[in-house]
């Protein structure tokens, strides 16, 4: 009730929720109380959370921030729960609702949502980041203590950074993608967003694990992230890529907050090591070919026939396809479908798609080489703090803001973003730590001890 009341008062301004599941939340909370009375409660029983509206929820509309699925006349209501949703329910977590996002997770500011921009709780004129901007804003404004997010190229870490939260993108394959609406399947990964690394550890433990329904989820035991939060930091080697620091695009206040945070990690026992990640500049072009290529294939299912938005009075099948997709998808989604289709088309496939795949492999090898020298890599999460709504609408300049996050997805590595202070506008600054495969518990433990 506490959270539902706060949502009712604050969210009309913030616009973080697409759907508030009031009755369901109260029923689940009551059931949690019952479980508690019976002495069967787990540690998260009765704790509320918000799901990014990209996770399918049985009986509750799932929109992915798009008119294609959210059309008020015919919203998409999944007949099943995403595995993440199911696991949260099994842990006793209470679903408060579904939160806003950039359409099909394409964006960095939440301005690409059919439901309008979500505001940053630290400054209502600014963006919360994206694409999991609704998740970040809801937790930062205390309209939920925890939220799920997804990260294809930074969508958990960058909104966490813009809203002063901790968010972790796990190793690709750590969490099931079953029932998570696909954007770029080889990059998409779910993860928790919360106020602290400790809270993230609790939620990640619930979300992670192999799932027979997702062949890319990995059959490997899930670490006990919570009990491993205090791993010794003495001698921890933190790599500082020369290509990340002193880069002309990096805001000087962000740089200075990061320097302070790194010195605090040194006081906790860490050692700073300068390293190179020579492929840094190749990540944006590779990602913005590969992700749209996968998206163009994934989004071909929205054809106006099987489900989703259908245009009025189509004259023939071609008209049905083309008008349903033109009216149902927003500009950024259409741009990416066009780019992706072009990159995959005969004659261009080798020059663009195959080339980008080769670059992707080089980026991965670059990270693996770095991890022979250091235990984790530190850097900014984003080049700046949250910008004004409407300030950064040019697609290319928006893409350039992903410079520090997307290489991690191309390599499939885990990475965490954590708040390390505020800039002169009192906006949160985020530090990113990138680890080797399956190092989630180490990343959480470093940030936990810093916090």
Of 16, 108, 155, 176, which one is the catalytic site residue?
A: 155
Task: Please tell me which residue in 16, 66, 131, 445 is annotated as part of the active site.
Answer: 131
User: Which ranges of 91-144 would DSSP assign to H, the alpha helix?
Assistant: 133-140
CB 69, CB 76: distance < 8 Å? yes
**Residue 86 or 402: which CB sits closer to ligand GLN?**
402
Q: Which of these segments, 29-37, 40-48, 146-154, 273-281, binds ligand GLN (CB under 6 A)? A: 146-154
Site residues for ligand GLN, 109-138, by CB under 6 A, read: 131
Residue 81 is classified by DSSP as -
Phi first, then psi: give them for residue 311, nearest 5 degrees. Answer: -65, 160
- The distance of closest approach from Cβ of residue 273 to ligand GLN in the complex, given in angstroms and rounded to an integer, is 28
Asked if residue 170 binds ligand GLN (CB under 6 A), the reply is no
Q: Which distant-in-sequence residues (6+ apart) come within 8 Å of 409 by Cβ?
A: 151, 152, 153, 154, 169, 172, 187, 189, 287
Of 284, 290, 320, the closest CA to residue 303 belongs to 320
Decide if residue 151 touches ligand GLN (CB under 6 A). Answer: yes
Which burial class, exposed, middle or buried, applies to 59 when counting CB atoms under 10 A from its CB (0-12, 13-18, 19+)? exposed
154: contact with ligand GLN by CB under 6 A: yes
Q: Which of 146, 286, 291, 359 binds ligand GLN (CB under 6 A)?
A: 291
CB of 157 to ligand GLN, least distance (A): 9
52 is annotated as an active-site residue: yes
> Judged by CB under 6 A, how many residues of this single chain contact ligand GLN?
13
Verify cis geometry, omega within 30 degrees of 0, for the bond prior to 131: yes
Sign of CA dihedral 175, 292, 130, 376: positive
Contact call for residue 148 and ligand GLN (CB under 6 A): no
- Cβ proximity to ligand GLN: between 138 and 295 the closer is 295
Q: Which two tokens stand for residue 38?
A: 């019976």
Are 187 and 291 contacting, i.e. CB atoms less than 8 angstroms apart? Answer: yes
CB of 181 to ligand GLN, least distance (A): 11
Smaller CB distance to ligand GLN: residue 21 or 132? 132
Please report how close the Cβ of residue 53 comes to ligand GLN at its closest, in angstroms: 13
CA–CA dist 246, 252 (Å, integer) = 9
Catalytic, 16? Answer: no
Select 176 or 405, whichever has its Cβ closest to ligand GLN.
405
Piece in contact with ligand GLN (CB under 6 A), picked from 61-69, 99-107, 159-167, 261-269? 99-107
Interface map 181-210 toward ligand GLN (x if CB under 6 A): --x---------------------------
Q: Give the nearest distance from C-beta 134 to ligand GLN in angstroms.
A: 13
The upper half-sphere exposure of residue 90, i.e. CA atoms within 13 Å in the direction of its Cβ, equals 10
Per the CB < 8 A criterion, the answer to whether 413 and 171 are in contact is yes
Residue with tokens 């088309």: 345
Q: Does the protein bind ligand GLN through residue 152 (CB under 6 A)?
A: yes
Complex with ligand GLN: residue 249 or 269, whichever CB lies closer: 249
Task: Give yes or no for a contact between 439 and 184, defined as CB atoms under 8 angstroms apart.
Answer: no
**Shortest approach of ligand GLN to residue 87 CB, angstroms?**
21
Question: Which DSSP state fits 40?
Answer: -
Assess whether 397 carries a catalytic annotation.
Answer: no
Which residue's CB is nearer to ligand GLN, number 111 or number 402?
Answer: 402
Interacting positions 366-405 with ligand GLN (CB under 6 A): 402
CB-based burial label for 226 (10 Å; 0-12, 13-18, 19+): middle
CA distance 448 to 234: 15
Give the H/E segment covering residue 416: strand 415-422
Residues 55-84 that bind ligand GLN (CB under 6 A): none
For ligand GLN, the closer of residues 108 and 324 by Cβ is 108
* Enzyme catalytic residues: 52, 131, 155
Q: Residue numbers of the site for ligand GLN (CB under 6 A)?
A: 105-108, 131, 151-155, 183, 291, 402
């Amino acid at each position: 009730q506490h959270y539902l009341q706060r949502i009712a008062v604050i969210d009309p301004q913030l616009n973080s929720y697409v759907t508030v599941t009031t009755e369901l939340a109260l029923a689940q909370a009551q059931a949690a109380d019952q479980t508690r009375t019976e002495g069967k409660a787990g540690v998260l029983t009765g704790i509320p959370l918000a799901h990014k509206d990209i996770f399918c929820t049985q009986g509750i509309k799932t929109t992915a921030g798009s008119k294609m699925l959210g059309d008020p006349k015919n919203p998409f209501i999944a007949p099943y729960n995403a595995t993440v949703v199911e696991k949260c329910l099994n842990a006793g977590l209470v679903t408060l609702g579904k939160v806003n996002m950039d359409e099909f997770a394409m964006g960095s500011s939440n301005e690409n949502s059919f439901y309008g921009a979500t505001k940053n709780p630290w400054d209502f004129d600014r963006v919360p980041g994206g694409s999991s901007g609704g998740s970040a804003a809801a937790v930062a404004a205390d309209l939920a203590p925890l939220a799920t997010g997804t990260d294809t190229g930074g969508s958990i870490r960058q909104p966490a950074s813009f809203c002063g939260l901790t968010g972790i993108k796990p190793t690709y394959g750590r969490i099931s993608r079953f029932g998570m609406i696909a954007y770029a399947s080889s990059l998409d990964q779910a993860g928790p967003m919360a106020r602290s690394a400790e809270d993230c550890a609790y939620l990640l433990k619930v979300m992670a694990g192999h799932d027979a329904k997702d062949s890319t989820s990995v059959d490997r035991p899930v670490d006990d992230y919570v009990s491993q939060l205090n791993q010794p930091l003495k001698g921890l080697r933190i790599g500082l890529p020369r290509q990340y620091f002193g880069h002309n695009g990096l805001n000087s206040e962000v740089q200075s907050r990061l320097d302070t945070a790194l010195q605090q990690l040194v006081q906790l026992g860490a050692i700073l090591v300068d390293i190179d990640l020579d492929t840094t500049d190749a990540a944006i072009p590779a990602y913005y070919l590969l992700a749209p290529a996968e998206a163009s294939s994934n989004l071909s299912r929205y054809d106006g026939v099987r489900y989703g938005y259908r245009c009025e009075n189509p004259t023939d099948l071609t008209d049905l396809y083309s008008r349903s997709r033109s009216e149902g998808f927003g500009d950024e989604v259409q741009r990416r479908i066009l780019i992706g289709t072009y990159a995959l088309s005969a004659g261009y496939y080798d020059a663009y798609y195959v080339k980008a795949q080769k670059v992707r492999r080089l980026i991965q090898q670059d990270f693996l080489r770095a991890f022979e020298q250091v235990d984790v890599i530190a850097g900014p999460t984003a080049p700046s703090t949250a910008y004004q709504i409407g300030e950064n609408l040019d697609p290319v300049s928006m893409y350039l803001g992903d410079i520090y996050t997307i290489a991690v997805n191309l390599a499939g590595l885990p990475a965490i973003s954590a708040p390390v202070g505020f800039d002169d506008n009192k906006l949160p600054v985020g530090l990113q730590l990138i680890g080797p495969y399956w190092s989630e518990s180490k990343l959480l433990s470093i940030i936990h001890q810093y916090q």
